[in-house]
Amino acid sequence: MDRKRRVRRIRRFIFVGMPILLLTFATLSVVLTVRSVKLHRSLVQAREELNAYMEAQSEWEYTRLRDTADAEDTETAEVLSDEGAVSVEGDTETPTAREIPSLSKAEVDSLTLGNEELYDGYRKVYLTFDDGPSINTSAILDILAKYDVKATFFVLRKDGANNEKLYRRIADEGHTLGMHSNTHEYSVVYGGEEAFMEDTTSLRDFLYMVTGVESNYYRFPGGSSNRVSVVPMEVYGELLHDNGIEYYDWNVSAKDAVVPMPSADQIYWNVRSGLSDHEEAIILFHDTASKTSTVQALPRIIEYIQSLDNTVILPITETTNPIQHLRVQDNK
């Protein structure tokens, strides 16, 4: 009897208990996988938000320092106003001629170099996109192609065939391929001179392998005025120089880094009001996957800039005057 009962129990377990157990495990594993994918997605998004936020903070810091320096450096500003006078007659909306005051006379003279000489006397506007590539990079490239405008992309390293296609599109379509570190992780990027150069060289080699282009352009994560790095940022600037790389900050921000994401309309006005201060403007945008309103605002922004007198949209090249927050800090 005992044996029979045991056999019945085992059979019951095999035919009822086991399937229930298996089903429970399968359900649990599906639930956990979904949850982990969701968590990973939130983590990526949070990291992107943090990255962009650091850049927004850096922009604020730069603006504050620039305004302080402004009052002390009207002499240089006058020289620049003479050099790059633009017509402002009859249109109160047109930005007035004014330049960031961080340039010396020698630097002003050095502006007339290479191909940008063609645009001497023009207001120069540079559209720059940080933290990509992403799905939005593709949409941005389409818009730039439509308006026949060249821009600059400061990219991170993102593996996968789709991303590789985007790096190639940037280079092949005549835009400037700039670097923005491998992962944007401050502890890695700013972990000392050796770590910084290792990060930069590895990204540079990766981009060269994918596109055949050796990038000589860099934008520091968080900008050169970031407060994250314990090593003075000048040290990293020098290292880049030693390796034939120039770094570029920005003097106009789309302010598309803030949370919640501003509307396309707000982004348009952020750029438009920022532009009014500058004779040469490097505009900071972000092209991560969440920045859809940046994409929506872009056509209107380009149309506005193209409607301005004596104004040209250019990609950053080696002849571009690098806007550098550190130089403004030096001047204060």
Q: Give the integer Cα–Cα distance in Å for 284 and 256.
A: 9
Q: Which is nearer to Zn ion, 73 or 130 (CB)?
A: 130
β-strands 280-286, 311-313: how paired?
Answer: unpaired
Site for Zn ion in 196-235 (CB under 5 A): 221
Over the window 1 to 40, marking each residue x when it contacts Zn ion by CB under 5 A and - when it does not, the resulting string is: ----------------------------------------
Which residue's CB is nearer to Zn ion, number 131 or number 280? 131
CA distance 221 to 155: 10
The number of helices, as runs of H, and strands, as runs of E, in the chain is 12, 8
Length of the chain: 332
Q: Is the peptide bond before 260 cis (omega within 30 degrees of 0)?
A: yes
DSSP secondary structure letter of residue 37: H
Distance of closest approach, residue 53 Cβ to Zn ion, in angstroms: 10
Residue nearest to Zn ion (CB): 130
The residues in 41-70 that bind Zn ion, with binding defined as CB under 5 A, are 51
Q: Which is nearer to Zn ion, 60 or 147 (CB)?
A: 60
Nearest residue to 184 (alpha-carbon basis) of 131, 224, 236: 131
Handedness of CA 235, 240, 246, 247 (dihedral sign): negative
The least distance separating Zn ion from the CB of residue 148, rounded to whole angstroms, comes to: 27
- Collect all residues with Cβ–Cβ distance below 8 Å to 1 and sequence separation of at least 6: none
Q: At closest approach, how far in Å is the CB of 181 from Zn ion?
A: 8
Per CB under 5 A, which region of 60-68, 122-130, 139-147, 262-270 contacts Zn ion?
A: 122-130
Task: Give bridge partners of residue 127 from the DSSP assignment.
Answer: 283
Q: Quote the least distance from Cβ 167 to Zn ion, whole Å.
A: 17
CB of 315 to Zn ion, least distance (A): 19
In this complex, which beta carbon is closest to Zn ion, that of residue 108 or of residue 228? 228
CB of 204 to Zn ion, least distance (A): 17
Q: Which of 48, 49, 59, 131 binds Zn ion (CB under 5 A)?
A: 131
Q: Under 8 Å CB-to-CB from 267, ≥6 apart: which residues?
A: 254, 255, 256, 293, 294, 297, 301
Which token pair is 289? 């996957």
Q: CB of residue 219 vs Zn ion: minimum separation in angstroms?
A: 7
Decide if residue 134 touches Zn ion (CB under 5 A): no
Closer Cβ to Zn ion, 206 or 285, answer by number: 285
E-strand ranges in 159-310 read: 176-179, 217-218, 246-247, 252-253, 280-286
Q: Which is nearer to Zn ion, 186 or 304 (CB)?
A: 186
Three-state secondary-structure class, residue 155: strand
Which residue in this structure is represented by tokens 């790095």?
229
Is 249 one of the binding residues for Zn ion (CB under 5 A)?
Answer: no
| # of chain residues touching Zn ion (CB under 5 A) | 4
Least separation in angstroms between CB 286 and Zn ion: 7
Pick 49 or 130: Cβ nearer Zn ion: 130
Query: Does 130 interact with Zn ion (rule: CB under 5 A)?
Result: yes
Name the minimum Å distance from CB 68 to Zn ion. 25
CA dihedral sign of residues 106, 107, 112, 113: positive
Cβ-contact 62, 325 below 8 angstroms? yes
Comparison of 184 and 278: residue with beta carbon closer to Zn ion: 184
Q: Which is nearer to Zn ion, 103 or 257 (CB)?
A: 257
Binding-site ranges for Zn ion (CB under 5 A): 51, 130-131, 221
